[in-house]
A and B are shown apart, each in its own frame.
Chain A
């Protein structure tokens, strides 16, 4: 029974991944990440992605802060560009394709000192980011369940 559960969970994972790929949320870099996961680092993907979330949220906050300051006439676009570059780098590194693409648009807007464009891009970015985060969490949950299921199973086999 448990074996079936594990198998079903694996299928769920694959289905979800396929969806995310299809939507362009993720790209093959995410597969690279998965390939890096091995016995020496069994939770590599989720660890990295969690760090990514942590860092990205800081960056998003900073970006929002730069754009939203009341009464401030000039926006520090240079600083914004630095944050965006970093977000772009880390997003592409984990394969968050859509987030990265929005970052590119965001950066283009900031280079033109286009505040409106930046705000719009920021909103889109936050949206994409949340979507990614939710989906990846979902994925990791399934994976966790599957690992649990598998772990329960091994002792049985040994016995």
Chain B
């Protein structure tokens, strides 16, 4: 944002406090800070003032205890209606109260007595808010701050509709209105995002309708009025749709922005990160993406979201190796996350605040529902993974279908792992095929062959997608760590365009002859299908290749997207590192609409010497929001 030379000067501040001496003092203090101050001793009057002069004030300072209206209520309303940063203040310094303020979305909580020094800085909240709203991601330096802030502010809005419904929090909100007495206890349990509740509840169904309408129209051509007509929902106004559309666009934009910056961006949700390990950032990224998706439309499965959701599953495989136990859980997605964080890299990548986890769980739930097929991560496979450490798994997921829309997402993941120093271990061939097309299910075929013989592993995977022409071409040449002889090749993914039905078939056979080789190959292939009512098959394909060995290999991924993509394409990269630290830095540039979404992700995996397993680091790059129809996306990763 453009900041004028004398920026904080003249910042328009509204102070609301029923305590007149305080009000006087604050007024004077703020004046000293060169702000333009308006004071108000009644919350209701303040609210009217804010409503009348929308856009006039930059920030609001409000007392907590006010006779005519609870400060939290005011905070809630202000957050909802005008989206202004609100600073709460109170002489009461009890933690529970402060917590309540924060949960209601206060951007700061000042305890009386308030000193001038504390007020000098309040302009930062205004800037932060603007930054997040305008999605000014250009400035990556400020991103971290934004993200952190988002939790209480910006993000909350995005999350509001979704989360509320998911948790049935809405009910509590209503209840809250009725019985204020219960407020305290209820609020404690509430998700912070409920502080800002939209008037129109964008339920899953509603959002799905919205998304399908948008898809029908095309994201660029979608205008609120047309969407409204298509949705044909009584009671919904053009304004509701307009604001939702705006958020939706911002969301898409943010996704792409995030993707671009993925490398350096720690997500807000992850607490302490290890800066050093790239894996950490990647892991976070996924999570962030998830969180984001969760917020916007966790339950709705737009193709975009589906992509996001897929990510985690892909991750699953990798971490799975380390901690099998986790894999057994029935929810793949959730596991992925946990695994990712805790296990996969052996380092706690993130600590999620409880709130966040909530989001995840929601998303997860939805993911589950949607992708019934995901179940395909059968325990068997997992077990195999655990036991053998040689696993070839393909999981294809098809994304959600919205209203008879074909979506397809396919994920293929292959895993091959071999234990390092085991003598005669015969890897088992594991084939996991998950095909979950919601509407159309086409048997898919992907055959994966792993051959491990004295260090030679070749994996062939064929996947054919019908409908769209997606071509994934990936070559993997994993090599054994110990013996240089091992070569792994993965070839594959063929797509046959022209067919409406997309199928993935995965077969994996691994025949390792000798145990001396350690190969870890992970190939996550994800296709995201666009959600269109019509059949627009899909699009983005990603081929991942990873090679392990002390040396790394090239991955070639080509993605050709046909038809308009609304969903992003994912490029997943799998890198497996041998026992030593290896760094993979694949770069996948993806071009979509002149933009490059591809990111490099380097992953470092720390391996403990004691472990026999090869860890795989997978990097997924989420892509994009919208591809123009007929766009070809090609991704090359090296």
Q: Residues of A with Cβ closer than 8 Å to B?
A: 29, 32-33, 35-36, 41, 44, 47-49, 51-52, 55, 82, 85-86, 88-95, 100
Contact = CB atoms under 8 A, between A and B. Distances in A.
What DSSP secondary structure best describes chain A's contact surface? helix
B186 interface: no
12 contacts: A41-B28, A48-B25, A82-B67, A88-B112, A89-B19, A89-B92, A89-B112, A90-B21, A92-B91, A93-B112, A93-B113, A94-B113
Interface string B62-80: 0101010000000000000
A88 B18 CA distance: 13
B352 to A, nearest CB: 34
Interface in B219-270: none
A95 B28 contact: no
B113 A48 contact: no
Given A44-B28, A85-B90, A32 B116 contact: yes
B24 interface: yes
Contacts of B114: 93
Nearest to A53: B21
A156 B22 CA distance: 39
A32 B65 contact: no
A94 B113 CA distance: 8
Contacts of A93: 19, 21-22, 25, 91, 112-114
Contacts of A91: 91
Contact of B91 (A32, A44, A85): A85
Contacts of A36: 25, 28-29, 32, 116
The winner among B65, B67, B114, B116 for most chain A CB atoms within 10 A is B65
B22 A90 contact: yes
Interface string B9-30: 0000000001111101100110
Interface of B: 18-22, 24-25, 28-29, 32, 63, 65, 67, 90-92, 112-116
Given A44-B28, A100-B91, 10 more contacts: A36-B28, A36-B116, A48-B25, A49-B21, A85-B65, A89-B90, A90-B19, A93-B91, A94-B25, A94-B113
Contact of B65 (A44, A82, A92, A94): A82
Contacts of B24: 47-48, 51
A19 B114 CA distance: 24
B91 A88 contact: yes
B563 to A, nearest CB: 62
Contacts of A90: 19-22, 91
B25 A86 contact: no
A105 B526 CA distance: 63
A82 B22 CA distance: 16
B116 A35 contact: yes
A92 B21 contact: no
A88 B28 CA distance: 20
B90 A33 contact: no
A48 B29 CA distance: 13
Contacts of B65: 82, 85-86, 89
Contacts of B63: 89
A38 to B, nearest CB: 8
B323 to A, nearest CB: 47
A36 B113 CA distance: 14
Nearest to A103: B91
B91 A89 contact: yes
A95 B24 CA distance: 14
B371 to A, nearest CB: 51
A47 B27 CA distance: 13
Nearest 6 pairs between A and B by C-beta? A89-B91, A52-B21, A88-B91, A29-B113, A92-B113, A36-B28
A29 B114 CA distance: 8
Contacts of A92: 91, 112-113
A33 B25 contact: yes
Given A32-B116, A93-B113, A55 B20 contact: yes
A82 B19 CA distance: 12
A32 B24 CA distance: 13
Q: Choose among B19, B115, B116 the residue with the greatest number of A CB atoms under 10 Å from its CB.
A: B19
A132 to B, nearest CB: 13
Nearest to B21: A52
A36 B25 CA distance: 8
B21 A55 contact: yes
Contacts of A52: 21
